[in-house]
Amino acid sequence: MSSSRKKVLLKVIILGDSGVGKTSLMNQYVNKRFSNQYKATIGADFLTKEFEIDNRLVTMQIWDTAGQERFQSLGVAFYRGADCCVLVFDVTAPNTFKSLDAWRDEFLIQASPRDPESFPFVVIGNKIDLENRAVTSKRALSWCQSKNQIPYFETSAKEAINVDKAFQTVAQNGLAQETEIDIFNSEFPEIKLDQSRPQNDSCSC
């Protein structure tokens, strides 16, 4: 199993109400750019970013909701094998902050992580570049503390403020969480169809 540790795939999903800037955040982090042209997440799927931590090559896959969150219709497949969940709200829109409870519950039900209490979440209050702030840091922090000390970041995807820092925490905390698929992977290789080369298919038992 130690050999399979060299390469790590980290699945991160971003949740939050429509329009809080989920797509912008991941685009800013991965592509270092911001566009004000997305409308309800057309074309956004998942982005990957590779980096090295502790001699391990980590591929972080950040999954967008693809707009399916709009009518609370994200299927269970979206949540499969998540290593970290980022909850995003808009600091100028109190309703999006109030929704965090529902998104967290939804995640815990659908993804049903092994240990819900210690599953790594990260909360991001986005759009701090705007004037009309309506959710205070204090209020957000106190919510995060009440949910087992979730790390909290205030960002601007537009001005690239704090975005890298937030995702570094996402990566670290996600890595600390070993999901079942990683455990199984070494024992039962998963087959991806788009890889032209057949993978090692031996079954260890």
Partner 1 sequence: MEPGFEDEYDLVVIGTGLTESIVATACSRIGKKVLHLDPNDYYGDLWTSFTFPQLDDWARRHVQLAGGKNLPDNGSQHQQQQQFQSQHNHDQNNPSEKVNNQTSNIGISLSKVNLTAGEMVYPWESGINLISNVEPVSYMINEAPEKQDLDKATEEEEEDVEEADDETEPWTFEKLSTERNWGIDLVPRLLYSRGAMVNLLVSSNICRYLSFRSIERILSCLPGTDELMDVPCTRQDIFNDSYTSLIEKRVLMRFIQLCLELERRPDLIEGFEGFEEQPFIEYLRSKGFTPLLQHLVLNSIAMVDPTTPTQEAMEQLKRFVSSSGRFGNTPFLFPFYGCGEIPQAFCRLCAVFGGTYCLKRTIDGVVAKDDVINSIIVGSQQIKCQNLVCSLSNVPKSLLVPRQVTNISRAIFISSGSVKDSQCAGSLLRFPGPFPILVVESSWASLIAPKGIFVIYAWCDSFTGNAKEDLLPIARKLFNFESGDEMNGKPKLLWSCFYNQATVDCSSITDKYQNLYVTSPPVNELDYDVAIEEAKSIFDTLLPDEEFLPRAPDHDEIVIEGTQTNQEIDLD
Q: Return residues touching partner 1 (CB under 8 A).
A: 18-21, 23-24, 27, 31, 33-40, 42-48, 66-68, 70-73, 75-78, 80, 112, 114, 129-130, 158-159, 180-181, 183-184, 187-194, 198-199, 201, 203, 205
Of 121 and 144, which has the nearer Cβ to partner 1? 121
Of 15 and 44, which has the nearer Cβ to partner 1? 44
Smallest separation, CB 95 to partner 1 (Å): 9
In angstroms, the CA 129 to CA 161 distance is 9
Closest alpha carbon to 158 in 21, 38, 13: 21
Smallest separation, CB 41 to partner 1 (Å): 8
**Torsion sign, CA atoms 107, 22, 182, 172:** negative
Smallest separation, CB 190 to partner 1 (Å): 4
Of 3 and 203, which has the nearer Cβ to partner 1? 203
Smallest separation, CB 65 to partner 1 (Å): 8
Smallest separation, CB 201 to partner 1 (Å): 4
Smallest separation, CB 132 to partner 1 (Å): 12
Of 54 and 71, which has the nearer Cβ to partner 1? 71
Residue type, 1: M
In angstroms, the CA 179 to CA 135 distance is 33
Q: Are strands 56-63 and 121-126 parallel, antiparallel or unpaired?
A: unpaired
58, burial (CB in 10 Å: exposed 0-12, middle 13-18, buried 19+)? middle
In angstroms, the CA 49 to CA 30 distance is 6
In angstroms, the CA 75 to CA 194 distance is 23
Of 42 and 176, which has the nearer Cβ to partner 1? 42
Of 104 and 127, which has the nearer Cβ to partner 1? 127
| Cβ within 8 Å of residue 187, ≥6 positions away | 204
